Structure 1
């Protein structure tokens, strides 16, 4: 796991200043504390920061191919590199090192862009071919590893693992994209089709770019996508056996490392399943870690401890204060772009705990997206059945009216929170799921903007890219489209961004075995009744793990990392909340109605309403603008 950076001149191959590359790499030094390197040639420069995981002394980067005709910088891990290496050696390739980096180079020289389909792992890399004089940028299938790019005023394309690397380049424009602000208010993060800064792009998951000196920058090309079009017809017990095979393969392949390795253990189904399978294949006790909170209602350590005792892991846990509000500046600095998922704070804390004893930690991320584990997916499947029974004109008339006048009632028991359901049923399935994913619906966002900012949006709504993605999804049902949206939109933009930045901030490599692409492809082929049954998501996964895990772990209500931001914004952060409307950086942008923001802040502080999610979003946006030095 590392950090990469580079500069490529798409027109005249001008010289690249090595000091610029050095500064870009220094900005992401936390991603690779074990080594660094810079290489330049006419019109191109590559930089690297290394976190040593495999072949600790023998794979420095930037790395030349054996014949010296290509140069690589690489962030990630290729889990099948040994098998690929044997195949390539049979085809005549020779190697100097024992790691996965040189294997990528040899695969590129043997198969060109088709080498991507042979790579199993997480990666973002750049290869410069000195003979063809072209640059090959690629990102893994599901977007586990990030890659930012920007076309600069001198005709060069700069790239890096984080926005920080690009910010270190003096020619990068620091102008906020208004569409990104609309996206952020809708989702709580800036999705992969956008960046907070105009002119900066993210290479999408499962895409590559091939750039030449004598041509304008080529658009990204998709090389992988998950399809929900096929349905397996095997017996459930056979599919369960196949699922366990894929799980064991995925976990086992991610246990290869030349440094201490462990696992995050929350006590939920996913992380507990990973630990169970690690214990099955490890001769030594698995090192596990978990964190709890000093509020009993937020604490899950008893479940983590139950799993740790069951598999005799070398378990460490730490109770952290839920009053960690004084760390929000450091937190916002990790992400560069505004990021309002409050679980980022405890995720960072568990990464810190893990890094005290290991350099690699396996996580349970990805199972909810792949196996339909989110409650919103079960609700959406039920709503789709209702949509199929009632014509749209009737749904719009009846449920549209109910959705308009029914009180929001966030304080009420879940069955009485019907407003969102009514609004969803009055819409198409795609529109309904977009509403379920959104942190803030469009009718609320519009009340926050000034007239001038609304004109800058030119009618754009954040839901539009998601609706287009769901419409063209390779899917057969509404549940398929919802899961496709989660895998292609939510997962790389929120979950994987959160884990990458918080783990890399402490020099920890996080691996996600439940996002092995073969496992994801298998899950996408399952009949719906093996994904959701009687409202229970991840049905086949849970049934398969019954031989390993107790019922109390498998079937307890889902609970994620929770941070008490509502209490913070009524207490120690009340002044920060008030400043959102008056005095904070975002109040001076002219984007938002200051009176409206102040009224929402006062209503929350007084306890009349709970606007904590919105206020947290605005607070993190303000911190991000401050970090970026814009607006």
Structure 2
């Protein structure tokens, strides 16, 4: 297993290849190789699995005229090698890579259809002047590409991931909004060649791209008839029998055995479901028989399971039943993903997937792969069985409609009766939802019409009434491609090779040649797999009806992660996106947390995932909060140190001090004193200008009311505020602006109502309207009081808990000012302390300034004039305090 990348259309550029290679180092930590010739360049990262000592890439043919970079495994390579040797070919390595290369030399592009395995490959054929890209029959291994040149100078970039294409700097990063719309609206992705990145596509399963290196023109086509073969085989309908079950068991067992071929340790993912359990018990049987290739397992089969104790998603008892059955031949590893870990891993998880995904479920797999990589290099998984053997409930309905369509009413009645428990459970769930009067959440209600109206003609549908055609469609378009993306990204993130034995080409062909009853019969899906493993599997798994799989308890996690989700949903970037209505999203999230709406967390996940994906791949990096990067003696960006105040004609110098983020737990007084002392200690080396400006002159300490209120416990998380209809309605009439949210949020409006009462708020609103007609400003706050003006709403442009909390005005600001002034005078050297003239608690933003409390001799008019231009940082500048020195 490896990672590949490359280009056509550029002269030898190893620096670009190195940049591409570095982005996929995780896919191949065991080796790196490059190749350039004419306008073609290849980069290769190797994860050594077979013929570890040899098989390095790029690999050259014996005449040096054909070059291959290859990501994958060809499990029938020994069979193909023997066939090639019979044709007179000789080999210098024992690798499957050389078999792939020589197969191409012998059969050309027809060779790809002979491979039974997984691959994404690139071949430079200098004899025929071709660059050939190809992807395996199921699309287990990815291969992305993008046209990067011009009509006069064509170019092509390709890679196992999207990151190496972006790393070239040759592409304009742009969102494919049509694909994004289909994901948000229909909850689908990976069904077509287009990706979420405009201009970047992927080869679909069984496709090849052939580029003429003399012209730069390329064509994409299928190298196989595999999907058509499955449709043709489906018409055979071999009757279900014991012989059919035995043959399927034999073929499936051989498919598993082939995927144990390795020179490095192999393990197995075990969810506790039917599919992964079938793989584990089949391997256990092969070990008991001492079958070929089982030496890769070592002394025992290592299994890896994600468990969620006390959660509805937990499958530990099923996994334990399999482990008990395999006792003596198995070593179990159990992983317990936690919401705190998910929160910590969230950005890396999004970065790993490269494109949005439909739920947080694959994070459980991410965790499993991380742990597995500490013990093994290859991991077998159960992916693909659901899509070929009707593992999901909607397949039942397709089968029932098929029987109705063909007039098989007697058979339909029997099947419905046999499936009654499944149908009843589904009906009960829907009826219960209606009886509890919980609103169902539709993504449509959250998306902006200006966005959705552009794609009103987009449609999504499934094959409604033909079981096998539905399965084939899902195998190559609707379902499996996304599952395989998770598998590839999660395994390769941790330099682990994932193998999927259910996706053995020959096994799948055999399955589709059987009657539909091999897939669904008597209300049981995956009928042939259940029967083929009966006696190997515990009965509680063979007869299991419910399906969970590797997933997370998302509904439970989102409640415990509400602070993180609010932080994202309230962020400035989320609010500014053109795709959704920020207020509607937050209101829906509140309804979900309060239990008023059905827990459709997949809707929130899609929004969350999209936002984090946009930040990761498109947004410019934000300035990080913290004390680094700004001296105490320079102004904030676009601000000045000095200001002349009209009220007294004097000039004042303001030094904003950068601090750590303040929280409720911060001890205000020692924190304030530490920053004042830091300023004083730095003066001797600050420069002559600053020494002169601060010597022998009255000076003051100005503090933002935010940090005072916060450390007094006057900051309330939005989820603890029960918003009334009046608050939600009134807040809509308050204009939002970059300078502060104020009462423009329903939470801050609710606090204002609780502070002075709804009648007073309504009266102030009425007076404000009259005042505007009279040309007066600030009438509202004159009526309700400046304590209401000082209420700060949750705002994404702030830092720390301010992003998701609302703050009252501080208590006793005059008393706080006196207390801090006394401590400042006691803590500083005499020459500074004797000129200290007091503290002011300020509510300042770009719209205005209010003095909430002070102990200075200056008038409020002068104090407000000193801060007229709001020199302190209100956002990520984290400068909530200033030292102000009189200059004349």
TM-score tier by shorter-chain length is 0.7 to 0.9
Corresponding position of 1:325: 342
1:325 shift after superposition: 2.9
Given candidates 343, 352, 359, the residue that maps to 2:377 is 359
1:452 to 450, 453, 468: 450
Q: Which of 552, 557, 560 is the aligned partner of 1:571?
A: 560
Distance 1:587 1:517, change over 3 A: farther
Contact 2:335 2:371 survives alignment (8 Å): no
Give the direction of change, closer, same or farther, for the CA distance of 1:543–1:279 in structure 2 (3 Å limit).
same
Structure 1 residue 147: Cα displacement: 0.5
Worse overlay, 380-389 or 324-333: 380-389
2:336 aligned with 1:339: no
Deviation of the 1:66 alpha carbon: 1.6
Residue correspondence of structure 1 range 161-560 to structure 2 within 5 A = 161-185=160-184, 186-213=186-213, 214-226=215-227, 227-228=230-231, 229-234=234-239, 236-282=241-287, 283=290, 284-312=299-327, 313-323=329-339, 324-326=341-343, 327-385=345-403, 414-417=426-429, 444-457=442-455, 459-463=456-460, 470=463, 478-556=466-544, 557-560=546-549
Secondary structure (helix, strand or coil) at the match of 1:171 reads: coil
Deviation string for 1:106-153 (max 9, x for gaps)? 000100111012111111100100111111111000110001100013
The C-alpha deviation readout for 1:335-391, integer Å capped at 9, x for no partner, is: 11112332211101111222221111111111111122222211332244456679x
- Report Cα offsets for 1:576-618 as digits up to 9, x if no partner: 24743x4353432212223322221221122211231100111
Aligned-pair distance for 1:322?
A: 3.0
Query: Which residues of structure 2 form unaligned runs of 5+?
Result: 291-298, 409-423, 433-439, 621-888
User: Which of these residues, 15, 37, 41, is aligned with residue 37 of structure 2?
Assistant: 41
What residue number does 1:3 align with?
Answer: 3
- The CA distance in 1 between the partners of 2:568 and 2:495, in whole Å, is 34
Q: 1:51 and 2:39 equivalent?
A: no
Q: Within 2, Cα distance between the matches of 1:419 and 1:148?
A: 44
**More divergent stretch after superposition (297-306 vs 199-208):** 297-306
| 1:179 and 1:460 in contact (8 A); partners too | no
Counterpart secondary structure, 2:525:
coil
Cα distance in 2 between the residues matched to 1:517 and 1:416:
39
Q: Does the aligned pair in 1 maintain the 2:239–2:515 contact within 8 Å?
A: no
Measured against aligned partners, the alpha-carbon deviations of 1:384-422 in whole angstroms (never above 9, x if no partner) come to 4456679xxxxxxxxxxxxxxxxxxxxx963235599xx
Structure 2 match to 1:159:
158
Contact in 2 for aligned 1:81/1:103 (Cα 8 Å):
yes
Alignment of 1:602 with 2:590, yes or no, is: yes
Does the aligned pair in 2 maintain the 1:122–1:145 contact within 8 Å? yes
SS at match of 1:146: coil
Shift of residue 462, structure 1, vs aligned partner = 4.7
Q: Aligned equivalents of 1:584 and 1:566: distance in 2? A: 25
- Partner residue, 2:680: none
Residue aligned with 1:546, SS: coil
Cα distance change of structure 1 residues 578 and 482 upon mapping to structure 2, 3 Å threshold: farther
1:78 paired to 2:74: yes
1:559: how far off? Answer: 2.0
User: How many residues matched?
Assistant: 576
Q: Contact 1:568–1:574 (CA<8 Å) still a contact in 2?
A: no
CA shift in 2, pair 1:417/1:320, >3 Å: closer
Q: Give the Cα separation in 1 of the matches to 2:249 and 2:474.
A: 23
Alpha-carbon shift at residue 498 of structure 1 (Å) = 0.8
- Give the corresponding residue for 2:778: none
1:615 aligns with 2:630: no
Aligned CA-pair RMSD: 2.5
Kindly indicate whether the alpha-carbon contact (under 8 Å) linking 1:203 and 1:220 is maintained by their aligned counterparts in 2.
Answer: no
| Deviation sequence 1:53-109 (CA, Å, 0-9, x none) | 001021111111122110000000011111211211221222221101111110001
Q: Distance in 2 between matches of 1:235 and 1:601?
A: 50
Alpha-carbon distance in structure 1 between the residues aligned to 2:338 and 2:514: 40
Shift of 1:235: 5.1
DSSP 3-state at the match of 2:284: helix
Distance 1:266 1:535 in 2: 23
Contact 1:139–1:207 under 8 Å retained in 2: yes
2:219 partner SS: coil
Aligned to 2:615: 626
Q: 1:492 to 1:21 in 2, by over 3 A?
A: farther
SS of 2:6 mapped into structure 1: strand
Specify whether residues 364 and 613 from structure 1 end up closer, same or farther in structure 2 by C-alpha distance, changes over 3 A only.
same
Q: State the alpha-carbon separation in 1 of the partners of residues 198 and 116 from structure 2.
A: 33
Q: TM-score, normalised by structure 2?
A: 0.62
**Separation of aligned partners in 2, 1:449 and 1:371:** 36
TM-score with structure 1 length normalisation?
0.86
Q: What SS does the corresponding residue of 2:145 show, helix, strand or coil?
A: strand
Question: What does residue 427 of structure 1 align with?
Answer: none
Higher relative contact order (CA 8 A, sep 6+): 1
Q: How does 1:584-595 map to 2 (within 5 A)?
A: 584-595=572-583
The answer to whether the 8 Å contact 2:337/2:367 transfers is: no
Call closer, same or farther: CA 1:587–1:542 in 2, change over 3 Å: same
Shift of 1:296: 4.5
Counterpart among 121, 132, 148 of residue 144 in structure 2: 148
Go from structure 1 to structure 2 and tell me whether the alpha carbon gap of 1:47 and 1:343 turns closer, same or farther (over 3 Å shift). same
